[in-house]
Chain A
């Protein structure tokens, strides 16, 4: 059977995990619901890292910095207090994700002809740079006392409670996992994995390692942006 034509069926184990995760919203106390929500957000950032490290086989150490940057930008853009822009949440998310994806693309383009240790060290350097510039910006972060961004209301549904926000985050995670599964089985996903396993073989097969590396970094930036955007409120 042609593997490319196989449908990306959701494994039963994943469905079981999803069912348990939904059930958790109704049996867990507030503290644990909040904690698991934070874990899910980290999971989204981790999924993005997987595309670069797991599939593209390049070590990126800037994912935490990108996630934090997206969180601060979302908070700044969505709050009205402390000089924020007061944008609707979804628009603030779009701004943050666009900024982080642009930063990630910048890394990818600048390092497009480098690989291995170069990318690892340069992304580590960028991580420190972000920590010392973005994370110390009083305007963005609010200084020592962090400013809370408002919880959003989407399509008439209030996400004020920890339980509602947990379910929203869980829905986003599930959607992203399904999309990644589709991507992995697609022509692009397989090409990315070939680039990761053997760049020279990929090049010989007409696949551009440079383009797929840029794609991997863009995806990592997208996931970091979404994780950060969910962290802000």
Chain B
């Protein structure tokens, strides 16, 4: 392990630029996860399934058959993106309707989380059984233009992804702060039983939030298809990293989730670019994991605790 023994300054700035540019994907998925956590208090692994669906199905919809066989429609990338977003919203909306309904809302968190994990595996299983598309790359709706920033070529696809994520974070932050729906969502996040008592339509709000977040996850999946390609391990790896980004903000803050996405993107790209020397894939994973884990512990260390919570933690 050669970690920390070298510092290659010439690739530092390009790797930071590339890291910020690639943070959009993590950020988009992280925002979706934070949103659903707010209304269900559980981590919805469903989003992992929707990311996979977005990636694989988008490729299937928009990539024409090379030899005219196989029955892929070969739609324009924009049309494919819209279909994927709508499909993601419908699947997540139905899921939200079920898990925030009277029957399941009272289930223990462990059970709901396991249920969402099962749904993710189910979606993945159906996709792998029906579409054979490993190691393919899809077309992007944003063209193949590149811009050189600090010596690093950034694609129009990366810029568009980051812009979409930033706009989504700003819009959702405004919605959460200044609209009735936002107040409902915050009320549910704080106290589900209390929200129900004062007349918050939990099931309707929950379904809507799941639909919006599902659309975001599916969109992230379709963007992933053009940026990274169809690699199941890699795609789930992006989802996992988005999940880790969320815990930086305690699954509560959209801004911290976005900041975490940028931090993760930068650290990841610095390691890949060899800023600290040539590291094996395993060592790179270890450093990224340690960086996120360290940040979580540091944030938790300074988080104020009161009363019985402090007692429980202190013993």
Contact = CB atoms under 8 A, between A and B. Distances in A.
Contacts of A136: 281-282
B312 A200 contact: yes
A119 to B, nearest CB: 10
Interface residues of chain B: helix, strand, loop or mixed (majority): helix
A57 B285 contact: no
Contact of A121 (B108, B244, B314): B244
A132 B110 CA distance: 27
A194 B308 CA distance: 15
Interface stretch (A83-91, A93-101, A123-131, A153-161): A123-131
Interface in A56-84: 57, 59
A115 B195 CA distance: 25
Which label, helix, strand, loop or mixed, suits the secondary structure of the A interface?
Answer: helix
A203 interface: yes
Contacts of A151: none
Nearest to A207: B315
A209 B312 CA distance: 6
B292 interface: yes
A110 B297 contact: yes
A204 B282 CA distance: 43
B129 interface: no
A173 B16 CA distance: 52
Interface in B121-164: none
Contacts of B313: 113, 209-210
Contacts of A59: 110, 113-114
A132 B240 contact: no
Interface in B238-275: 240, 243-244, 246-247, 251
Contacts of B240: 124-125, 128
Contact of A202 (B108, B251, B300, B312): B312
8 contacts: A57-B108, A121-B244, A121-B246, A122-B296, A129-B282, A203-B314, A204-B311, A210-B313
